[in-house]
Every structure is written in structure tokens, then in C-alpha cells.
Chain A
Amino acid sequence: MTATGDSPGAAVAAVDAAPGSAVDAAPSLAVGVPPAPAIEVRGLVKKYESQAVLRSIDLEVRAGELVALLGPNGAGKTTTIEIIEGYRRADKGSVRVLGIDAGTGGPSLRARVGLMLQGGGLDPRSTPRDVVRLYAALHDGARDPDALIEELGLGSVAHTRVRRLSGGERQRLALALALVGEPEVLMLDEPTAGMDPQAKRTTRSLIRRLRDSGRAILLTTHDLADVERLADRVLILARGRIVAQGTPAELTAGAAPALRLRVTAPLAEPARETLTAELRRTWPDARLEADTSDPLEMTVAGADPEPWLTAAVASWAAANDVTITELRSRAATLEERYLELTGDRDVQVAA
């Protein structure tokens, strides 16, 4: 750690902001001392009817950084982001946005923050042009509404009622409302939900550009592709706690490699038992884990994927007339790591 400034947080900030960050591109933030975090949450606790739904959440997002809050439905993602947005009150802990308490920020803080809510909050009888112009009029120093509508690819539907827009168009309109006030901080609740692959791609590249221009972005998602393609850091939330955090690469690095095999027909229970028994003669902790989404795929857990293990599986297959189509040793993907951490099987597979 190198001390680059005289403020206590400077050293940590320098480390966090170092790789590929574009803090310097933010005109209002290009100062000598690294800025305080744009979003800073410490010890956040939230209870509903004395049931804790968030238990001591800490998180931090700096200018030019994109942090993804990943987790299964019901993990507390929306509750967390809505507390930071000021919609709900924390029961304990501190929540500061741009150095200001999120619960008491008022209109002057909200002018500097762009929000995208789940569901959008759009009147179905309104049109993109009307609603973007309305939100532009609520800001002093807003972007030109018509240019923003063009930039988000909504020019051809600018006069179409919201009711008749596709899911992806509505999401982009909600994003336009988040951007019209030239925010320093963006909080996006599932920004790519309901979009087709093309719209997801466009939206992700737009969000990346916003990050590169120096904005601090916090987004929630349960789409792992969002995380892999966008996030500088990921926080995995499960049952109201952050169970893991780091860069996408760091999250998968800790996972031990394992031997995976693919067969031509699902294995019957007796066949699985003989394989397990065979392997346990050499590796006492070995067990066979089925892939819930694909009955032909299995992982040999509890044993290092050394050459002898591969040989043992192959010779069992020869003796039992089982055809193996793939036998490989590799580290866990983000998806596998995520499933392991959250115990959630109902996740979108990365495209």
C-alpha cells in the first residue's frame, strides 16, 4: 500500500481505483486527493416485523467504479438499493451518498443521483418524449431530452404511448430518466431485466461508457452475464448477508478445480454407487455431484483432479460399459461459484 495523499482514506482509495479506472475523466472529481466513496454503507441492518432481512451490510462504490449486487430473489438486493436511494430507512448503520446521509438528502441530493426502479414507474398513457421532458424540467442543468432519446435508440418511438413499448424500450426509457439530470451516481435495479440479447448488449455498453466517464454505478442483477461483462467488483448477497465479494476473477479464483464428466445416458443409482465406492478406495472424501440443469453432467467433488483420478473414472467407465463424451478438469465458473455460495439453483445461465 502506498501513501499518495494526506487524507486517511487515500491509500486505500488509490489501491481500489488503480486498475483501468477512469476517475480522471470525471471533470468535477479530478482533484489531487482521491475522492471519498460516492456510496458508503456501513453496518446496515434492516428488519421487517422484527425479522432481519439485512444483517450488517457494508459496501462502497467510488467514482468511475461499477459495483454489482448479485443474489437470488429475496436475498435483499432491492431492499439494500432502496435504502441507499432513500426510499426506506435503515434500522441500524450509516448510509451516505456523496457524503450526505441518504435518509435526509432531499431534492438537492436526488438531483445528483440517477435512479432506475424495477417496473420503471412510468405512466402507460405517457410517451417517452413527454416523460423525459418532464424529468428534464425537474433538474437545473439537465441534458437535452430529445438528444438523450435519440442516444438511447428511442427516437422512433418518442411519440408512442408507453403502454405500447416493448419491455426493452421501457427499460431504456427508465434509464433515460436516470440519466437526464447528469447524475454523478447511478443506482440501477435490474437494468437489463426483460431485454432481448441485442438490447442487453447495447445497454451494457452504454452502462460501461457511463462508468468510464467517471460515474459511480451500483446495480443489482441476477444475470451473471451482467456481472461478467460489466462489474469491477461484485458483492454476492444471500439471506441478507454479503457472502462473497471481489472482482469477478477473484471470486472464481478461490474455487478449487474439479474433475467433470459427461456421459451419453443418465447414470442409474446403482452405477453411481459403484463409481463412488470405487473412487473412495483411494480418495475417501470423493462424491459424485449431479448437475441439476443437465442430467448427463457430473462433478467429482472431494478429490483433486490429479491424473490418477481421471484414470480411475475412465477405467470404471470401461468396466461398466459407460460411454464418456467429455472428461475435463477445470476451475469453477462464476455461475458454479455463485450457486455454491447462494445455494440457489434457479439462476439465469450466462449467455
Chain B
Amino acid sequence: MSRPAPLARSTAALASSELRLTLRRGENLLVTIVIPTVVLLFFATVGVLPGIAGRPVDFLLPGSLALAVIATGMVNLGIATGYDRQYGVLKRLGGAPVPRTSVIVAKVAAVIAIEVAQVVLLVGVAAIVLGWRPAATAQPLLLIAALLIGTAAFAGLGLLMAGTIRAEATLALANGLFLAFLMLGGIVIPIDHLPGPLADAARLLPAWALSESLRIALGSGADPALPLGVLGVWASGAIALAIWTFRWE
């Protein structure tokens, strides 16, 4: 007679399966690894960015880290989960001897594993290729907090799409939002350079809240209360809505 496997073992198996499938899809590696790295290297070396005080890499590293979180949490997780739902993978797992929480925990664990690799890669490229050094005013705890709350916000947005609309629509919407966040989220262009009303609107976006929080954490010296607060509101709102609306089939 068979019993459920211990939770730690089944959750680890689900997370590693999730991770393996992610690495197997070329488009995932493109959006999570290649695009943030290219954005960092390209804009730091060609010098086309307007009005940045100090070296471009100090502005671009937190921007590309934010882009990496958006790519993994929203684009990658959202699209993969949307297709899981469409193919009945989630339904089939619902008939397996694991609680639904384990399925979600496994997905989150896979997201965090990818993010750790992204952070190591982007910080490494910034330090080795672009000569970046952490500022004396950097706040490592704030950095981790911003990455985690940002992950919650964008994973929440990804799952909100995946659980309510068709997989194809999630694919299109997630990529569209990715582009919009890249342009309006203070990732490569400081939002002060956007036209006034657009800049005000951009300050309400989770992308700006995350990139600004990361910039403060890496030592820009500003007050983190507003961006962290905006990010927290997005995180709790998106997750609550995702839980409330998610359809497993």
C-alpha cells in the first residue's frame, strides 16, 4: 500500500522537475538570462543613456537585476503555469498525493533558484567586465528584502494571468508588460526623463518600485519607504487576487 512521500521529498522533486523543464526551454533562458545581461552590458558600454549622475553601471546594475526578477517571476512563471493549466498538468498533479501548497512552493523555489543564478551572473558581469564595486552605503538586507518582495509582486502578477486567461493570452500579455516595464520602470531610462504625467504614472508601477528599491539598497542614498511601500502593495494585491481567482483547470 502506497503512502504520500514525505513533503520535503515530493516538493524537492517537483521543484527540480520545474527547474529542469525551465532550462530545457530556450526562450526561458533568453528572457531570464540573456536579455538582462545584454541590457546591462550594452547600455553600460555604448553610453547612450541620458542624464545619469555617476557611472552608468551604478544605475544599470539595479535596473538589470529588477528586469531579471520581472523576467523570472512574471514572464517565465506566468507563461509556464499558463501552459501547465492548459495541458492539464496542474489538474493531473491535483490527483497526485501532494497538497496544492507543495506545487506552489515548488514553483516559488524554482523561481528563487533561477534568481540566485541571475544575481550571481549580473553582479559578476558588472564587477568583472564593468568594474563595478559595491558602495560603502550599500544595504545587503534591504537588497534581499527588495528582491523577495519584488519576486512576490511579479510572481503574483504572473500567476494572476496564468490562472485566469488562456495560455496564449498570458504569453502575449506577459511579454507586452515586460517591454512596458523595461521602458517605463526605471530599468535603463531614469523616469525623470519621461514626460511629466508619464513619469508620475511610472512611479506607481511595480517595476519602478523594484528598480528604485534595488538602487537604494546598492547605495544611492535615497529613502526606501515610498518604493518599498508601492512594491509591498503590488505584492500583496497581486498575490491576494491570484489566490482568489486562480483556476486549476
Which residues on A are within 8 Å of B, measured CB to CB? 28, 85-87, 106-108, 110-113, 115, 117, 119-126, 130-131, 133-135, 137-142, 177, 181-184
Contact = CB atoms under 8 A, between A and B. Distances in A.
B2 A139 contact: yes
B89 interface: yes
Interface of B: 1-6, 9-10, 13-14, 17, 20-21, 24-25, 83-84, 87-99, 249
Contacts of B84: 123
A108 to B, nearest CB: 6
Given A139-B2, A141-B1, A122 B94 contact: no
Given A107-B97, A141-B2, 13 more contacts: A110-B4, A110-B96, A119-B87, A120-B92, A121-B90, A121-B91, A124-B87, A135-B96, A137-B10, A138-B14, A139-B5, A140-B3, A181-B2
Contacts of A87: 91, 94-95, 249
B95 A111 contact: no
A181 B92 contact: no
B25 A125 contact: yes
Contact of B14 (A85, A106, A125, A134): A134
B198 to A, nearest CB: 39
Interface centre among A112, A113, A123 (most CB of B within 10 A): A123
A183 B10 CA distance: 18
A148 to B, nearest CB: 13
A112 B96 CA distance: 10
B21 A125 contact: yes
Contacts of A134: 13-14, 17
Nearest to A142: B2
Contact of A140 (B5, B20, B83): B5
Contacts of A121: 87-93
Nearest to B94: A87
A85 B97 contact: no
A111 B9 CA distance: 15
Contact of B3 (A108, A119, A133): A108
A111 B91 contact: no
A86 B95 contact: yes
A107 B3 CA distance: 8
A114 to B, nearest CB: 9
Contacts of A106: 99
Nearest to B96: A138
A138 B98 contact: yes
B1 A139 contact: no
B13 A138 contact: yes
Contacts of B20: 130
A120 B99 contact: no
A181 B83 CA distance: 26
Contacts of B87: 119, 121-124
Nearest to B25: A125
Contacts of B90: 121
B104 to A, nearest CB: 15
A139 B2 CA distance: 6
A111 B4 contact: yes
Given A138-B4, A182-B2, A117 B97 contact: no
